[in-house]
Amino acid sequence: MLEVRDLRVTFGPRRKPFVAVDGVSLTVGANETVGLVGESGSGKTTVARSIVGLVRPASGSITYDGRAVPAGTSRPGELQRAIQMVFQDPRSSLNPWMTVASIIGEAWRTHPSAASDLDRLLADVGLDSSVAGQRASQLSGGQCQRVSLARALAVKPRLLVCDEAVSALDVSVQAQILRLLDDLRRRHNLSMLFISHDLGVVHQIADRIAVMRRGVLVEEGPATDVLGAPQHEYTQSLLDAALELNS
């Protein structure tokens, strides 16, 4: 479904750029969830933003369903619809003064061929139809993230890129959203790139895990293998830190 090959992203002056992502290659298969993990500053969010067109790579390629994805925002509407992103902070990613109906309607105005029933879409993410008339500022963090998911699903994507989609939520709400994401993936035949710094969270949802450190992919494999028998010392250190926090 998605193939990223030798992705390199730099920021700053050409003479001495900061290399945020250095030669990252990864794939996401059909109906598969791949977890991309690493500490803050490892480059995982930059990879995500490159995939959805918010960041222009310096080099490398991104292919979706066998089709080359243009760099940056100059993408055909079909590709814009197919790859949708769910951001970290559900409150800052929504206009607080817009109603839920207006937020979803904005997506449908951009992609009118994807328009469908609002009540059914809200129910799909576990929200009552009465929420449609409320402003985003009136909703809880968990409700806002469900609205963000509804907005992404409104255009009928095939790939969701979730960037720390549960990190700003309470632990109990995190579990609800993780279950919802897994359920949505199955019901809508979605593929998912799930980005997190939390190995415990990724373990609950990912089929495969890729580990980034300082812009480089250091380990990748089935979730059970990476978490059960990590091959790289950095992965082991992340796992040890997670175990210490849990204990």
In a domain, 232, yes or no: yes
In a domain, 146, yes or no: no
Contacts of 33 (CB under 8 A, 6+ apart): 182, 185, 191, 192, 193, 194, 205, 206, 207, 208
Best CA proximity match to 220, nearest among 234, 233, 209: 209
- Structure-derived torsion over alpha carbons of residues 212, 240, 89, 203, reported in degrees to the nearest 10: 80
Task: List the CATH number of the domain containing 186.
Answer: 3.40.50.300
* Mean pLDDT along residues 56-76: 85
More confident residue, 245 or 23: 23
**Please, what is the average pLDDT of the chain?**
89
In a domain, 152, yes or no: no
In a domain, 104, yes or no: no
φ, ψ (nearest 5 deg) of residue 24: -80, 135
Residue-wise pLDDT for 181-230, tens only, equals 999 999 999 999 999 988 888 888 999 999 999 999 999 999 999 988 88
Strand order in the sheet with 159-163: 83-86, 159-163, 191-196, 33-37, 208-213, 216-222
CA–CA gap between residue 230 and residue 233 (Å, rounded): 8
Number of domains in the chain: 1
Whether pLDDT at 244 is above 80: no
Residue-wise pLDDT for 105-156, tens only, equals 998 988 887 778 899 999 999 999 999 999 999 999 889 999 999 999 999 9
* Mean pLDDT along residues 84-111: 88
Residue-wise pLDDT for 25-38, tens only, equals 999 999 999 999 99
Predicted local distance difference test score (pLDDT) of residue 73: 63
In a domain, 20, yes or no: yes
Predicted local distance difference test score (pLDDT) of residue 84: 93
DSSP string, 103-137: HHHHHHHHSGGG---HHHHHHHTT--GGGGGSBGG
Predicted local distance difference test score (pLDDT) of residue 188: 92
Strands 159-163 and 191-196 come out as: parallel
Predicted local distance difference test score (pLDDT) of residue 79: 86
Domain extent at residue 180: 2-89+158-246
Kindly indicate the confidence band of residue 160, based on its pLDDT and cuts at 50, 70 and 90.
very high
